[in-house]
Structure 1
Amino acid sequence: MAAAAPQPAPFHQPSHQPPALRPGDRVRLVAASSALADLERLQAGLAVLASWGLALDDDPARLPPRRWGYLAGRDTERAGDLLPSSDAEQPAALLACVRGGWGSARLLERPLEAAGGWLLGFSDVTSLLWHRLATGQGGAIHGPLLTTLAAEPAWSRERLRALLFGEPLADLEGEAWVGGQVEGPLLAANLTVATHLLGTPHLPDLDGAILILEDVGEAPYRIERMLTHWRLCGALQRLGGLGFGSFEGCGDPTGPEGDGSRFSLEQVLRERTADLGIPVLAGLPVGHGDVNAALPLGMRARLDGDRGRLSLIDGGR
């Protein structure tokens, strides 16, 4: 007799967020996905954190040699990055993911010890961020990786600093597609990674959530296929509101759009979501584009489909 499929965990509003950072707090590097290929970009990201008064918990030079195929080490090594250093008196206040790619979902096959502090990343790190939410942990931030942080515009870097240090965050502006207003817990994810979490215990309950999706390098028909999957399993229908960030490199690579023989990315996103009966925004500065504005996951937010605005209630605190 076949085993029953795992059921998604109920959404646990985090009981509390980790303490706001203070100058002198320590940062631990997490290489949970693909192998590090650019130490210079990592060092540039670390310099940003140092300018905020944060201290590094370990040696970044340990990462480039660590490789297992295309991954940044074996599963046990990468999972170990989420644990405190053996010589540290207290856990690091910030776990900062080095890069995306692929590999973090593999770590969910084994029990992961609950790690304190904030966890920062996006793209492939979606798996770890959503696992935190599914287990009721706070401190998940969908935001720049250490290898992308220095390339963020100044206001985006300042937004992340403000979030980490407990200061209010400004609203994000988008393009209103479907009107209405909704409040609910905030989620953000890479569409491809989140799609592969559907039906697993690592997917938080989507009921009433405001979900912000982004992706990179996926043709419109593949985006359409994933959104259809979300519709068929009833996931999109559970949301309270929906926003789209950047979909970098997701145009049709086979030729010009608009001749009637193919759908554009915008046509796909609009058609697959217009009948949900919920507010929808597009063009939010989140994802693999030029700006990846930090978002605190699990916190209550308001999506205004009339004014094209995403805001955090009480500053996200």
Structure 2
Amino acid sequence: MTVVAALPPPLQPGDRLAVAFPSGVLRQEEPFWQGVACWQAQGYEVIVDEAAFAGWGYLAGSDQQRRDRLRHLLQDDSIKGILCGRGGFGATRLLEQWQWPSAPPKWLIGFSDITALLWSYAAQGVAGVHGPVLTTLAQEPLWTQQRLFDLVQGKSLDPLWGSGWGGGVVQGRLLVGNLTVATHLLATPDCPPLENVILALEDVAEAPYRIDRMLTQWRRSGALYQIKGIALGRFSRCEDATMEPNFRLIEVLSDRLGDLGIPIVSDLPFGHEGVNAALPVGVAAELDGDRGSLQVLL
């Protein structure tokens, strides 16, 4: 049976939030501390374990160190939310020997490589947030910062607007994530059921042929034919001027998605290297392919 994920209890000023690095090691401290300050300015206590700054190669510690840190934060009843420091790579490695601990649901916030954890958490019935990590939060415009803070406080969200490709209106369970990470979750135990899903995807620095290859995998696996609608965010630096002849990104997306006969909306304001509007993962949503809107149904 398809599980619609539930949001954790709303946060209140004074709540304790903890920082986790489930993926890559921290490379730039200044934007990280600026992101911490954004949460502190909202009245939250932010707990930072600077031991995670040391890292292990390109990872923020060994797999076991990162698993232990995440499990500890999930089981600590004094912590009401987990703020991911950055993406990078490494979250899928944690899932190899991972079981979500029996603990009250709490907020898990991040995007990019954090997709792996967000989708796995949603499969357990808990809605995390696809939204800015600490190293990107301070660069967000005020309206997307406020959208994130409103979401974790249990307030309603305005719809996001993009370019409608037609297909009518559909309601389903919203799965938001990075295309590359999500593709590597297919056919694993950590991929949530895809029936009745509105699939919201973004990516960065992937050439058109690689986007083509991933979407072809979604088609060949049958996964793309299970979903009810597609919401496309920003695909930044995904054009390739070095290869001739070539396809433009929009041509690849149209070719691989345009024949599905379902509502599709592109150019929505979420993803890398630009506005990244927060979206809960696993909750009910409505996609209007004619008007070009994505509405979370909280």
1:12 aligns with 2:34: no
Distance 1:89 1:108, change over 3 A: closer
Counterpart-to-counterpart distance in 2, 1:186 and 1:282: 15
Q: Name the amino acid aligned to 1:41.
A: P
Counterpart-to-counterpart distance in 2, 1:291 and 1:140: 19
Counterpart-to-counterpart distance in 1, 2:95 and 2:180: 17
Q: Cα distance, 1:63 vs. partner?
A: 2.7
Q: Name the amino acid aligned to 1:134.
A: A
Cα deviation per residue 1:150-208 (whole Å; 9 max; x = unaligned)? 10010000000000011110110000113310001111110000000000010011111
Alignment of 1:40-79 (within 5 A): 40-59=30-49, 61-65=50-54, 67-79=55-67
Q: Cα distance, 1:85 vs. partner?
A: 5.5
Q: Name the structure where helix makes up a greater proportion of residues.
A: 2
1:129 aligns with 2:118: yes
Aligned partner of 1:220 among 192, 202, 208: 208
Q: Cα distance, 1:111 vs. partner?
A: 2.5
Name structure 2 gaps, 5 residues minimum. none
Q: Name the amino acid aligned to 1:292.
A: N
Alignment of 1:82-121 (within 5 A): 82-84=70-72, 90-114=77-101, 116-121=105-110
Counterpart-to-counterpart distance in 2, 1:85 and 1:203: 23
Contact 1:195-1:226 within 8 A present in 2 as well: yes
Counterpart-to-counterpart distance in 2, 1:89 and 1:72: 21
1:298 aligned residue: 282
Contact 2:108-2:128 within 8 A present in 1 as well: yes
Q: Cα distance, 1:81 vs. partner?
A: 2.4
Alignment of 1:281-292 (within 5 A): 281-292=265-276
Q: Name the amino acid aligned to 2:251.
A: Q
Count residues with an aligned counterpart: 296
Q: Name the amino acid aligned to 1:178.
A: G
Distance 1:309 1:198, change over 3 A: same
Name structure 1 gaps, 5 residues minimum. 1-9
Query: Who wins on radius of gyration, i.e. which is larger?
Result: 1
1:276 aligns with 2:260: yes
Q: Name the amino acid aligned to 2:118.
A: L
Counterpart-to-counterpart distance in 2, 1:253 and 1:32: 34
1:185 aligned residue: 173
For 2:119, what is the secondary structure of its paired residue?
helix
Taking structure 1 as the reference length, the TM-score comes to 0.90
2:140 aligned residue: 152
1:6 aligned residue: none
2:156 aligned residue: 168
Taking structure 2 as the reference length, the TM-score comes to 0.95
Q: Name the amino acid aligned to 2:147.
A: R
1:5 aligned residue: none
* Percent identity of equivalent pairs: 47
RMSD: 1.6
For 1:106, what is the secondary structure of its paired residue?
helix
1:38 aligned residue: 28
Q: Cα distance, 1:226 vs. partner?
A: 0.3
